[in-house]
Structure 1
Amino acid sequence: MMKVPYAPRCRRSLGGALLLVLLLPAFAVRAGGEPYGEAFAREGASWPEGRPPAALLPPLPDGSEAPAEGELEALRGRLAALEAEGGPYAGGLEEPLAALGRALAARGRYGEAVALYRRALHVLRVNDGLYGEAQKPLLAALLGIYRAAGDFAALDEQYPWFYRVYGNGQPPLTGLRLDAALAYQRWQREALRRDLGDGTRRLLALLDDGAELLDRAAADPAAGWDARRALALSQLNNLYLLEDRVAPPPEDYPGLRAPDPFQRNELFTGDPQQDRLQAQRRTAQADGRRLLEELAAEAPDPLARAEVLVALGDWQQWHGRESAAAEAWQAAIDGLLRAGEAVQVAALFSEPRELPANGVFWQPPAAGAEAPGPVVAARFTVTERGRAREVAVETVTGRDSARIGVARALRRMRFRPAFVDGAPVVTEGVERFYEVYD
């Protein structure tokens, strides 16, 4: 049996997921857990992973801020006067161009707004240079317009320039430079989830960029532990995607003998990118564990260490390493209680939590979708080992078949179980409403 190489995947509907499960060979089991958030998530779910940070890329004005037609004419008049006085590339021309672009974006006239913002950026680059600071708010606005218009291909083309203007991940990795590096990583994961471009090349570049950012932060005196933590958790999200999107190496399939190191193994593709991706896939589980263990060891205080230990426990649990996961979670609870953070313990461990709990697989429905997806109600027990049992699911709204896929996925899913007195416990009667992404 040939291994399944990397291939960019569209979002799986639950019906498609059910068919896939029926067709897969018995031995082709997942090394990681179910990608929670990809096909369905709890109703009202929201993670920072789903959208760019508002502090760096503020949202566009909505229709309530749209100016009257008279104001638009005044902006056009001011623009025409400046052009007549100084020419098409006059310094200061970017201001009325951007103001008019913002006004048109508020009215939903995105194509015209894009043209104005692009021209404003060109004026700035002519007068201030290719990487001038003044173009940052215009770039942010342009990215927002592309997103609002649903033009994700154009958004993808613009993000590398945004990253370059904000330092391209070079030290010092602090402030907006760090925020931009994290935003660029987040966008690359979103682009993978949206199946934009060459998925193999993008995933390799994402992993390389994440590793390089960590190396630079470690060598940068200005980058403190908080910066290293943010970059490490970003790279962990990259590893989650790697493990879900690339089939396990052939030797990870039960029943297949290890490849002969002295003879070419026909199970491999011979394609350098594919084989390199497969090599990174082989060590991903250990790489993620080591990343978090080192981060926890360097944590500046018990609260910071506990946060990392929770992520470590979630990572171990997602791979089915239940004892190691419980050990990490118990260490996190002990640290929080010693720090007097009983409220935080309750927030993290009072009820079972679907994993991964970071939204790395989440692609929220587009705003203004024609119809909401199905909603199902689920009731089940979560064992002390973090597995769903006695699963019962019924459809609340939408197509009735949605409940079948949710029920099957819940049985495969890994949970962070509830803890009482520092130990995992069985939780009966867990009730959830899940929105299904068609």
Structure 2
Amino acid sequence: MSAFRNIKLLRLCLAILCLPVAAAGQSAPDAMTTLDSADTPANISRYEALISDLESRYGAYHVDLSETLVGLGRAYQEKGDYAAAVSALQRSLHINRVNNGLYDSGQLPILSLLIEANKARRDWQALDQNYHYRYWITRRAYGEKDPRQLPALYDAAHWHLDAYYGGVDEYPLPHLLKAYDLYTRAVRILEANGGPDNPDLVTPLYATARTLYEMRQLAANFFAGEKTGISEDNRTGFNERTTDSENQLYAIVGNTFREGKQALERAIAIYRNHPELPAEERAAALVHLGDWHLLYDKTGKALDNYHEVYSIAGSEEGLLKKIDGLFSEPRSIPVLRLPDNGQPQQSPVDKDANVNYVIASFNVSETGRPFNIHILEAKPANDASMRRQARQDIRGTRFRPRFEKGQPVASTNVNFRYVFPGTLQ
């Protein structure tokens, strides 16, 4: 073991001697730091020289090549050459597998860099594969019920929602089904570690309900299209599902209201069983249940939930002000937060500078329905068909109505930015 360690140190020293910027006696980590701080073109040249030297001395699969290729990939990313970055990072990943096996957790930072490059290149197929491979490795490393896998799980689930909103595939239904599976898996993991009343369950329960609602919308659009003769070009994937297992998934779509309601009621129960949690979060959970009823045209039930929210506040002025804020203006629903893992909760559709959108002004009734829709601004500006589609989609959007003195009221001149889905292709 001592001889092997000495040989490895000798190899590192020889590699360092190949770097013009490395001072005599500088350690390998110091050399890498120097490379990281150098100008990008020179940085790339030095990494390439180091890689060439390592290959000539120790062969094409030496373990040290993996880390050096990561450095090269990062340098290419800084330069904006994402194709070259992907090439270097994929080779790094392969060398890591050859030396350490398919399940080695040392692949995780490489995959994170690959995911960044895939996004920059809009390579959605590779992005999908790398999100799931990263999650698979994390699962193998920590075990089926270990909560440390949750960040990678949530990243993969969020990707599928982003892919659905962005229309990256011809048939978007599988993305919703995969997101649903991952969020429900998160629920099971948290139950196994903290019990059925674990407060950490709230956000994956919300995410499950949100995904169920998107399934319902997709199903509604598909069947509406079928009635008007649109079946082959429906862009949903419903007509592609014929196996028994796929038919079982039809039941999920058909029961979205019931399952989503159960998830939201469970979140409310968790807050009820944990009085130490913020009262405004319990109030928000009741608001979400009211929104859910409103989305499914159960207006009476929705109003019952909304009024119950005010009963939580009682005479507590600070809490009452926060609740008033939930009803201060019409809000498109559902407004269900996702487990954000410390990251901004924003779809790539909204982050993309090239998205198509409209800004509309309209009124909202006391039951949350928009009417008198006027397009104020649009991109592209003169596309009449997109304006028609925007009006149709906004008309189909449900809004939580504004409240005054604890009662829903109509609102006028509501401004709303609508981003067209399917702009990631």
Q: TM-score, normalised by structure 2?
A: 0.72
After the TM superposition, which residues 179-198 of structure 1 pair with which residues of structure 2 at under 5 Å, given as runs?
179-193=151-165, 194-196=167-169
Q: 1:215 aligns with which of 166, 188, 210?
A: 188
CA gap of 1:171–1:419, structure 2 versus 1, over 3 A, is: farther
Q: Give the aligned partner of residue 78 of structure 2.
A: 106
What are the superposed Cα offsets for residues 32-78 of structure 1, whole Å, 9 maximum, x if unpaired? xxxxxxxxxxxxxxxxxxxxxxxxxxxxxxxxx99342222112122
Q: Give yes or no for the alignment of 1:393 onto 2:378.
A: no
Q: Distance in 2 between matches of 1:178 and 1:304?
A: 22
Range moving further from structure 2, 323-332 or 277-286: 323-332
**2:300: which partner in 1?**
323
Larger Rg: 2
Counterpart contact for 1:388–1:410, Cα < 8 Å: yes
Q: Show the counterpart of 2:198.
A: 225
Greater displacement, 100-109 / 223-232: 223-232
Q: Which amino acid aligns with 1:381?
A: N
1:417 positional shift: 0.9
**C-alpha deviation, 1:184, in angstroms:** 1.4
1:429 aligns with 2:407: no
Please tell me the residue identity of whatever aligns with 1:373: N
- What is aligned with 2:213? 240
**Cα–Cα, structure 1 residues 83 and 362, in superposed 2: closer, same or farther, change >3 Å?**
closer
1:321-369 CA-partner distances (Å, limit 9, x unpaired): 1222222233334435648334532442211001233599966167353
The answer to whether the 8 Å contact 2:356/2:378 transfers is no
Contact map agreement 2:96 2:107 (CA 8 A) in 1:
yes
- Paired amino acid for 1:106: E
Q: 1:396 to 1:190 in 2, by over 3 A?
A: closer
Q: CA deviation at 1:390?
A: 3.3
- Mapped pair 1:354 → 2:332: yes
SS in 2 for 1:277: helix
Letter in 1 for 2:401: P
Is the 1:297–1:305 Cα contact (8 Å) retained in structure 2?
no
Residue in 2 aligned with 1:367?
A: 352
- Report the counterpart of residue 118 of structure 1 in structure 2: 90
Contact 2:145 2:192 in 1 (8 A): no
Q: Determine which structure has the larger helix proportion and give its number.
A: 2
Give the drift of 1:162: 0.8
For the 8 Å contact 2:210–2:334, the answer to whether it is kept is no
Q: 1:427 to 1:197 in 2, by over 3 A?
A: closer
Distance between the aligned counterparts of 1:108 and 1:249, measured in 2? 40
Q: Which moved more, 1:424-433 or 1:219-228?
A: 219-228
- CA contact under 8 A between 2:131 and 2:155: conserved in structure 1? no
- Against the structure 1 CA distance between its residues 271 and 417, is the aligned structure 2 distance closer, same or farther, given a 3 Å change threshold? same
**2:358–2:390 contact (8 Å) kept in structure 1:** no
Cα distance change on mapping 1:280 and 1:428 into 2, 3 Å: same
2:247 equivalent among 272, 275, 278? 275
Aligned 1:33-44 pairs, distance under 5 A: none
Mean Cα deviation higher: 150-159 or 356-365: 356-365
Matches within 5 A, 1:169-188: 171-174=144-147, 176-188=148-160
> What is the TM-score when the length of structure 1 is the normalising length?
0.70
Q: Which of these residues, 260, 272, 287, is aligned with residue 288 of structure 1?
A: 260
Query: Is residue 190–residue 201 contact of structure 2 (8 Å, CA) maintained in 1?
Result: yes
1:185-229 Cα shifts (integer Å, max 9, x gaps):
112223344353765555444434433432332222389734311
Question: Structure 2 CA distance, aligned partners of 1:218 and 1:414?
Answer: 33
Distance 2:72 2:195 in 1: 39
Task: Number of aligned residue pairs: give it.
Answer: 355
Are the equivalent residues in 2 in contact too, given 1:246–1:278 (CA < 8 A)? no
Q: How does 1:72-221 map to 2 (within 5 A)?
A: 72-167=44-139, 171-174=144-147, 176-193=148-165, 194-196=167-169, 199=172, 202-221=175-194
Kindly provide the amino acid, as one letter, of the partner of residue 304 in structure 2: E
1:352 counterpart letter in structure 2 = P
Q: Distance in 2 between matches of 1:417 and 1:195?
A: 33
Distance (Å, rounded) in 2 between the aligned partners of 1:422 and 1:171: 47
State the secondary structure of the residue aligned to 2:88: helix
Q: Contact (CA 8 Å) 1:124, 1:134: kept in 2 or not?
A: yes
How far apart, CA to CA, are the structure 1 residues paired with 2:199 and 2:193?
A: 13
Amino acid at match of 1:315: W
Identity %: 25
| Structure 1 residue 433 displacement after superposition | 4.7
Q: Which has the higher contact order (CA 8 A, sep 6+)?
A: 1
CA 180–374 in structure 1, closer or farther in 2 if over 3 Å, else same: closer
> Could you tell me how far apart the structure 1 residues matched to 2:134 and 2:310 are?
40
Q: Structure 1: where are the runs of 5+ without partners?
A: 1-64, 254-266
